[in-house]
């Protein structure tokens, strides 16, 4: 427990320091001279170190006595860690580190969540794996939805020439769009596995009151699939792609929130 807490604190501090470096970059005039003073490699190394300590801070308590243990703090920490990893992966072939100005502060806070003492819920390996895949899918799609909203605002402000300091320092629209589609594609794969793996745990979806969850999740999956097909086949992009992503994520949220509401009413 002490080691996990220490790892969480170190990760939090590294995330905050990385956020500070990004904010200092934002305040620069972005001239070639000022860009030379910013070391992108150092920032990414710090982010990778923060993510490594972050993973250790909760993974140590994730598997307990042949079960996968979940609680609210663990879930929040896992979601933010996935967001950081997606950001780092997209940086392999494009410069998207400036999006960390939103992700790193969130991760700095949530990395401390597992040490707050939330009650855990041990699950068998099979069901726990399904939950892990589902959380990963929801996290990536949530990140894609947030970026879609950001992209839509950025594009409108660009057209009206009303870019603030924050939007001026975001990746170019072309990079934002490529990253957005990349996130949706990765999230779509995880969502597909989540739906397939869920079949094995639904002996009677009507008896378990999960038909609503399944219905909205499949609608969301179809909407994401339609977007990807339209993008690669017909070149759908820009505001149209952003709206599809936001509507699909709305359906995905309904698959959880709607089911919880129905269970309460029942």
User: What are the DSSP E strand ranges found in 62-172?
Assistant: 63-64, 67-70, 121-123
Residue with tokens 């997209």, as numbered in its chain:
90
First-to-last alpha carbon distance for the chain, in angstroms, is 40
Which tens digits make up the pLDDT trace of 57-109? 988 778 777 788 877 888 889 989 999 999 999 888 888 888 899 999 999 99
Question: Residue 98: CA atoms inside 13 Å, Cβ hemisphere, count?
Answer: 21
Which tens digits make up the pLDDT trace of 209-225? 566 777 888 999 999 99
Of the candidate ranges 33-42, 117-126, 181-190, the one whose mean pLDDT is the lowest: 33-42
Domains of the chain, residue spans: 1-67+84-116, 124-266
Give the whole-angstrom CA distance, residue 214 versus residue 150. 29
Whether the Cβ atoms of residue 144 and residue 180 lie closer than 8 Å to each other: yes
Write down the pLDDT at residue 103: 93
Which tens digits make up the pLDDT trace of 48-71? 999 999 999 988 778 777 788 877
Question: Residue 160: CA atoms inside 13 Å, Cβ hemisphere, count?
Answer: 10
Whether the Cβ atoms of residue 158 and residue 238 lie closer than 8 Å to each other: no
Which tens digits make up the pLDDT trace of 3-53? 889 999 999 999 999 999 998 888 775 555 555 556 788 999 999 999 999
pTM for this one?
0.82
Give the whole-angstrom CA distance, residue 158 versus residue 9. 39
């Amino acid at each position: 427990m002490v080691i996990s807490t220490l790892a969480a604190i170190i990760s939090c501090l590294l995330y905050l320091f990385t956020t500070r470096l990004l904010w200092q970059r934002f305040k620069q005039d972005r001239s070639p001279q000022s860009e030379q003073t910013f070391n992108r490699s150092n920032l990414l190394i710090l982010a990778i170190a923060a993510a490594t300590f972050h993973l250790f801070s909760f993974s140590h308590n994730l598997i307990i006595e042949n079960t996968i243990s979940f609680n609210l703090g663990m879930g929040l920490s896992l979601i933010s860690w996935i967001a950081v990893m997606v950001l780092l992966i997209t940086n392999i072939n494009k410069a998207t580190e400036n999006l960390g100005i939103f992700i790193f502060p969130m991760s700095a806070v949530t990395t401390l969540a597992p040490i707050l003492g939330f009650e855990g819920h041990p699950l068998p390996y099979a069901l726990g794996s399904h939950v892990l895949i589902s959380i990963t899918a929801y996290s990536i799609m949530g990140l894609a939805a947030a970026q879609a909203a950001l992209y839509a605002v950025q594009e409108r402000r660009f057209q009206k020439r009303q870019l603030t300091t924050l939007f001026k320092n975001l990746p170019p629209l072309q990079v934002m769009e490529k990253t957005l589609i990349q996130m949706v594609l990765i999230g779509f794969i995880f969502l597909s596995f989540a739906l397939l793996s869920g079949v094995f745990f639904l002996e009677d979806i009507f008896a378990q009151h999960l038909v609503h969850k399944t219905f909205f999740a499949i609608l969301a999956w179809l909407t994401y699939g339609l977007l990807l097909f339209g993008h690669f086949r017909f070149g759908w992009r820009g505001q149209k792609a952003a709206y599809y992503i936001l509507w699909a994520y709305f359906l995905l949220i309904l698959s959880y929130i709607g089911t919880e509401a129905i269970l309460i009413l029942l």
